Chains A and B, each alone.
Chain A
Amino acid sequence: MSTYAAGERRAARVPVAVLYVLLAVAALATILPFVWVVSGSLRSLGDFRADPGAWFPTAATLENYGALFSGEGFGVYLANSLVVAALTVAGNVLAGSLAGYALAKLRFRGKRIAFGAVLVALMMPFAATFVPQFMVTVNLGLVNTLVGVAAPLLVLPISVFIVRQYAASVPDELLEAARIDGASEWRIFRSVFVPLAGPALATVTIMAFLASWNNFIWPLIVAQQSSTYTLPVGLAATQQAAQNVTNYGLVLAGAVVVMLPVLVLFLFLQRYFVQGIAATGLK
């Protein structure tokens, strides 16, 4: 028995070293693009001309970041992205939690249909609906507005789904007690459920922010003037404009500005990101 166990352990020890090598190689491949973008954003135009493919700047400079925000565009795109993200997060936290709570805790006619709608929305391929979504937006007069950019994301099915799953774990007795006390359903939602729903609402906030901040095709379609561009659309436009001059430093600085907020959030709130993804897997 003991010799067998020792043999097992010895056999297992070799793979552990192999595992770390495998993980380190994968980590390097994952990190490399991040290294390139940060290092490239710190290189001057002259530096690029001298050796376009160099991995590191000869003399690091912040001039690209200065140039990025000295023009009018990027400040506007940043403000637009923040407005759209704020609308999206507010919509999902408020309306998403109301809908999710209702689906989990209230008894009503048409509940199956409502939940079916959540699933359909969850699985609907965006590429199959963006043309008619644009027609709807035109008819609502929302083309070239930030509300138009945010509208399809205001109550994401995944938000409803996350809150529904969470609400199902809240004991009915808590809500019944409030009902017996004569509280209205809104009071029960507001004063009994919401204070308990912190973790679910945190996940919803993160998922909504991510969906909004990283959204690309829809703002590309709806925002047709640079005054309503969000950061990704503005960045893609900057890149297309800069392609002729190959001013990579400027474009890469823009890339850093666009990706940084999410990566910083991710660094601190990894747990909630992971829960959000796990929720999509629960379907």
Chain B
Amino acid sequence: MAVTALLGPGASRTRRPRAGSRHSVVAWAFLAPFAVLFLLYTAIPIVLSLVTSFTDMRGTDLRNPFGVDVVGLENYVTILTDGRFLRSILNTLVFVVIGVPLTMGIGFALALALDSGIRRFRTVFRGLFYAPVVTNIVSVALIWQYAFNQNGTVNEVLGWLGFAGPNWLGDVGLAMPVVILLGVWRNFGTAMLLFLAGLQAIPDDVREAASIDGGGRWRQLRSITLPLLMPSTLLVSVLLSVFYLQVFDEPYLLTNGGPLGSTESIALYTYDQFGFGNFGVSSAASYVLLILVVVVSVVQFRLLRSRT
């Protein structure tokens, strides 16, 4: 700031710097806080994480970096032969493969409903469906635990119908569906909102032209709306997949990965290893997750792009 004040507009008149760098000093001064935080909390960690994954670093080494030895690929061998880690990959993929289409399906159906013809309570519905997205996850997970308890509100309803409800979160086969249900409940509002924005961007005359040509509602949806909505679909599916691959909050809070590891995700495994002080192993696991995230987004972009 002081520098520009000194140089002032007059300086640029005499010195005429290249057009691309007219404000370099000011601009980097403006960007400095972001740049510093980016270095500290994104750039350095990306490198540090990779380096750590090839060492035997433990929590106790934090103050004594010279006690750390390079162990090559040992951590990667450790996790890839650890049944628990392989199970966490499977669990994460199940969460993504079931959770993403469910979330998108519900979000799309609601966006379509809100976009076609209804006028009353439109904003109310939209706000309501979005409310779970902004609600604190710890609060929501507590409600879920309370509801899906052996004696919870869900089993109370099953009781009225004459069924004895199971212990949802303590059952190896049922815990995952409840975890997925929470993920879907929490995120369908985002999908709805993005689909709604996509639908509203389709010009009315395109649809009118389709209905004049004698296309029924179903045909119109299949041959006009869906193809035109492809950019939104791509965006929602990539955003959700990347987000769901990192799933942590839901299993951590609902089941802490249990029962018997049936809901442990990769992120939760990473966190657990970190908690045990195995920083090297934890970093290796987090790099596997990072690679998965990159691969999944690239593949999805390719697949969906080639279809449009």
Contact = CB atoms under 8 A, between A and B. Distances in A.
Interface of A: 8, 11-12, 15-16, 19-20, 22-23, 26-27, 29-31, 33-34, 36-37, 40, 52-55, 91, 94-96, 98-99, 101-103, 106-111, 114, 117-118, 120-121, 123-136, 138, 140, 151-152, 154-155, 160, 179-180, 182, 184-186, 189, 210, 213-214, 216-217, 221, 231-232, 235-236, 239, 248, 251-252, 254-256, 258-259, 262-263, 266-267, 270, 273-274, 277-278, 280-281, 283
B19 to A, nearest CB: 7
A282 to B, nearest CB: 9
Contact of A236 (B28, B33, B138, B232): B138
A40 B42 CA distance: 41
B34 A281 contact: no
Given A121-B42, A236-B253, 14 more contacts: A40-B143, A54-B153, A102-B23, A107-B19, A107-B20, A108-B23, A125-B290, A128-B287, A129-B42, A132-B49, A136-B48, A155-B37, A185-B30, A186-B26
A266 to B, nearest CB: 5
Contacts, number: 299
Contacts of A270: 123, 127, 130
A152 B37 contact: yes
Given A179-B9, A217-B249, A281-B197, A132 B143 contact: no
Given A26-B106, A128-B289, A131-B52, A255 B27 contact: no
Contact of A129 (B20, B45, B185): B45
A131 B283 contact: yes
Given A127-B246, A127-B270, A252-B143, A106 B125 contact: no
Given A98-B33, A125-B293, A255-B139, A26 B1 contact: no
Nearest to B8: A182
Contacts of B253: 236
Nearest to B216: A11
B146 A36 contact: yes
Nearest to A39: B153
Contacts of A94: 33
Please report whether the interface of chain B is mostly helix, strand, loop or mixed according to DSSP.
helix
Contacts of A140: 40
Nearest to B124: A27
A129 B40 CA distance: 11
B211 interface: yes
A98 B40 contact: no
Contact of B118 (A23, A40, A102, A182): A23
Contacts of B245: 125
Interface in B146-178: 146-147, 149, 151-156, 159
A131 B35 contact: no
Contacts of A277: 130, 133, 190, 193-194
A133 B270 contact: no
A252 B145 CA distance: 10
B45 A133 contact: yes
A155 B38 CA distance: 9
Interface residues of B, number: 101
B306 interface: no
B217 A15 contact: yes
B97 interface: no
A170 to B, nearest CB: 15
A154 B33 contact: yes
Contacts of B45: 129, 131-133, 136
B242 interface: yes
A125 to B, nearest CB: 5
Given A54-B156, A124-B46, A274 B193 contact: yes
Nearest to A96: B34
A214 B20 contact: no
Contact of B130 (A127, A134, A273): A273
B128 A36 contact: no
Given A99-B31, A185-B23, A52 B152 contact: yes
Nearest to A37: B143
Given A107-B23, A270-B127, A262 B136 contact: yes
A19 B117 contact: yes
B235 interface: yes
Given A20-B118, A30-B132, A133 B41 contact: yes
A36 B149 CA distance: 13
A31 to B, nearest CB: 7
Nearest to A48: B151
Nearest to B214: A4
Contact of A182 (B9, B114, B146): B9
